[in-house]
Amino acid sequence: MSVLKDYIELKKKLEQFGRAADRAAGVLGQIIKQLKNDFDCSTLKAAVKKAQLLKKQRQEAKIAFIKEKEKFEEKWSDKL
């Protein structure tokens, strides 16, 4: 009887894992759909590349802003 009990328990666990895998696949599908809508990325790999590009662009914009701010402050410091 112990073998049958172990089999039934294992079967239940496998069914639970199957349902969890199905839910995860559904969530992944929703994420891919949102990435496509928001950022025109059809894969996670493309989304990672896009995120890296956006991070680089943000850093470049931040540096440019700081440089322009410093120029402004230098030029107008006596008026401020």
Q: What is the pLDDT of residues 14-28, one digit of tens each?
A: 999 999 999 999 999
**Are 56 and 49 spatial neighbours (Cβ–Cβ below 8 Å)?**
no
Which of residues 56 and 44 earns the better pLDDT score? 56
43 DSSP 8-state letter: S
Residues 34 and 45: beta-carbon distance below 8 Å: no
Residue 77 has pLDDT above 70, yes or no: yes
